[in-house]
Amino acid sequence: MLVSSGTRNDKWRMSSASQQIVNEGVEFIPMKLTRVEPILIRTPLKLDDARPQAGGAPKNDVHTVLVKVETDEGVTGWGEAFSNAGWQSTCTAIAQIIAPRVVGRDPSQIAQIQADLHRSLYNTGRSGPTVFAISGLDIALWDIAAKRAGLPLYKLLGGSARATLPAYASLLRYGDAVVVERKTREAIDRGYRYIKLHENRTDIVRAAKKVCGDHVPLMVDCSCPWTVDEAIAMAHEWSDMKLAWIEEPIYPPDDHGGLARLRRTSRTPIAAGENVSNFMEFKRLFEVGAVGIAQPSITKIGGVTEMRKIFALGEANGVIVVPHSPYFGPGLLASIHVCAASAREIPIERYYCDFTETPFGDQIIPKNGDFAVPQGAGLGQDPDLDLIERMRVT
């Protein structure tokens, strides 16, 4: 927004009180955040006879906490905060903890807002709903910044030589070897060149490996089922399959020493990080040599701002960063942008499931096993507002 300042000073000067820049008689008034709103939507899965599970219960839909951020200049940003089963706490954190602290602030001051929130809210926890809420806000602020610049986010982050990134089919959990074998073959037939399971039974993993052969890398997310000794035994049992990685094999997930012990004995690379919620914990994870593949989740770690720090930290420590991104909105889109701006080609996790309709349209659907890097301004795809209202839970 531009207004006359009445000054004839031809030099740039900055007022620390108002943060208003004056140049040749024109005063630049910063944009302001006017509203931060959590929106929970429910997207039903398009299911066949195979019934996926989550936490031992049937999984019939996906819940997503969107973060809608409005400004006084009419530019709206969209973010996503991790929710899973705890969406009530995440929505409360956005509405009652985050929003009152940022409404009225300049959305272009992303790093300062991020730092202020982390510093003022450390007593509420360095992980969990508060950090999830910060993550959703941060993604939306980067969406606004890129929209104001008229650029897709990846160009604002440094650009890319790639028009596409490979997707990997992250199969839902079925607990049935016959179903997993069929779903693995189906995903490969659709063009996916990487497969990940959410299983921990040897017969199921071997069924998928039989389909993948030696040409399609197979990863296994175990979802934290074992003690360290049990994980060591399983890694040894699976070593002949030459898996691309074994993910989250140990409970509790923050047993970094246990992961390091497993990694020292395992012939298979060890991956973890989706349950890590701050930069310092990743630093400790790397210092003890716990992982070869780090998996920060952009909706948990603090958004785009913190994700970029994890990429730099991984490079400095010789750890490959492959983000966790089983999302279907801004969390997935922001992950694609951050990965596209990396010098290395990074496969993007995509939960292997279908929907009859989705607010984010074709942009979240891989074609022949590849994601197109979004080319629209910001995240590249705003949601269909009519669908948002129809799918909205709260």
At 26 the pLDDT is 57
208 and 342 belong to one structural domain: yes
* CATH number reported for the structural domain that contains residue 65 in this entry: 3.30.390.10
Arithmetic mean of pLDDT, 285-305: 98
For 50-93, the DSSP string reads: ---EETTEE--EEEEEEEEEEETTS--EEEEE--GGGHHHHHHI
How many domains does the structure of the chain reveal? 3
Contact between 218 and 242 (Cβ < 8 Å): no
Residue with tokens 């490979």: 166
How many angstroms separate the CA atoms of 114 and 302, rounded?
Answer: 8
Kindly state whether residue 392 falls inside one of the protein's structural domains: no
161 and 274 belong to one structural domain: yes
95 and 176 belong to one structural domain: no
At 20 the pLDDT is 45
- Note the pLDDT tens digit of each residue in 152-200: 999 999 999 999 999 999 999 999 999 999 999 999 999 999 999 999 9
Kindly state whether residue 190 falls inside one of the protein's structural domains: yes
How many angstroms separate the CA atoms of 347 and 67, rounded?
Answer: 26
201 and 271 belong to one structural domain: yes
User: Where does the chain show beta strands of DSSP type E?
Assistant: 2-4, 13-14, 21-23, 26-28, 33-44, 53-54, 57-58, 61-71, 77-81, 164-171, 195-197, 218-221, 245-247, 270-272, 293-294, 320-321, 348-352, 370-372
Kindly state whether residue 367 falls inside one of the protein's structural domains: yes
- Provide the domain limits for residue 5: 1-30
221 and 267 belong to one structural domain: yes
313 and 216 belong to one structural domain: yes
Q: Is pLDDT of 347 > 90?
A: yes
Structure tokens at 202: 């040897």
At 17 the pLDDT is 36
Q: Of all helices (H) and strands (E), which one includes residue 333?
A: helix 330-340
At 55 the pLDDT is 79
- List phi, psi (to 5°) of 294: -100, 140
Q: Is pLDDT of 6 > 80?
A: no
How many angstroms separate the CA atoms of 169 and 187, rounded?
Answer: 7
Contact between 197 and 171 (Cβ < 8 Å): yes
Kindly state whether residue 386 falls inside one of the protein's structural domains: no
251 and 283 belong to one structural domain: yes
At 27 the pLDDT is 66
165 and 274 belong to one structural domain: yes
- List phi, psi (to 5°) of 247: -115, 135
**Higher model confidence: residue 258 or residue 3?**
258
Q: Is pLDDT of 13 > 80?
A: no
- Note the pLDDT tens digit of each residue in 141-160: 999 999 999 999 999 999 99
Distance, C-alpha 289 to centroid of its chain: 23
215 and 310 belong to one structural domain: yes
18 and 143 belong to one structural domain: no
At 1 the pLDDT is 35
CB-count exposure of residue 272 (10 Å: 0-12, 13-18, 19+): buried
Cα distances from 259 to residues 229, 248, 294, 295, 311, in angstroms, run: 10, 9, 12, 14, 20
At 25 the pLDDT is 53
Residue with tokens 């040409």: 215
Kindly state whether residue 308 falls inside one of the protein's structural domains: yes
134 and 245 belong to one structural domain: no
2 and 110 belong to one structural domain: no
